[in-house]
């Protein structure tokens, strides 16, 4: 609260008073404040509207329908699935080695996904043989998911 001079009689009045206590003239400070208040009321709704519009346009995650197929995610999932299949084939080969810890797999051989969802790949590795030396070995692996969605090796053949 501040004191202002009445524009009519010059008496000091509160800027919050509606009119001068001495002469009864309407306070200019009070009128101006009322005008500013009115202006705020007029300007706030459009501002709110812009904010709400912005929130709406930026995407409301709750109302957006779920995307059935995200190509990037689908590709990532398939790559992960292929990797799981490859790892299982390698594990199976390793389990049959005389010296499993000596196995060095050639990781450059790619896996191929068949139309029925099965994965085929050639596994090449070097491992310690029964004679103590490192020898090369090559396997063919065919792996497929069973009815419960679990990878199962359907074929694992050592190539001569
Ligand atoms: Zn006055």
| Per-residue model confidence (pLDDT) at position 69 | 67
Largest CA distance in the chain: 120
Rounded distance from Cα 29 to ligand 1 centre (Å)? 13
CA distance 117 to 143: 9
CATH, range 72-159: 3.10.450
Instruction: Give residue limits of the domains in the chain.
Output: 3-57, 72-159
pLDDT digits (tens, 9 = 90+) for 90-130: 999 999 888 999 999 998 878 999 999 999 999 999 999 88
Angle, vertex CA 115, rays to CA 110 and CA 116, nearest 5: 110
Rounded distance from Cα 32 to ligand 1 centre (Å)? 17
**pTM of the predicted model over 0.85:** no
Rounded distance from Cα 17 to ligand 1 centre (Å)? 11
CA distance 160 to 155: 16
Rounded distance from Cα 26 to ligand 1 centre (Å)? 8
**Ligand 1 ion local residues (Cβ < 5 A):** 6, 8-9, 11, 20, 22-23, 25
């Amino acid at each position: 609260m501040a004191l202002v001079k009445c524009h009519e009689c010059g008496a000091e009045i509160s800027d919050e008073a509606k009119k001068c206590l001495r002469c009864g003239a309407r306070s200019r400070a009070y009128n101006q404040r009322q005008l500013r208040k009115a202006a705020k009321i007029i300007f706030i709704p459009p501002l709110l509207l812009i904010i709400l519009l912005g929130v709406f346009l930026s995407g409301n995650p709750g109302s957006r329908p779920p995307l059935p197929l995200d190509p990037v995610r689908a590709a990532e999932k398939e790559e992960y699935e292929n990797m799981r299949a490859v790892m299982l084939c390698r594990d199976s080969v390793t389990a049959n080695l005389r010296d499993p810890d000596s196995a060095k797999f050639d990781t450059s051989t790619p896996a191929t996904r068949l139309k029925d969802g099965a994965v085929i790949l050639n596994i090449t590795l070097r491992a310690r043989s029964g004679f103590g030396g490192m020898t090369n070995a090559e396997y063919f692996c065919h792996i497929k998911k069973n009815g419960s969605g679990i990878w199962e090796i359907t074929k694992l053949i050592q190539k001569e």
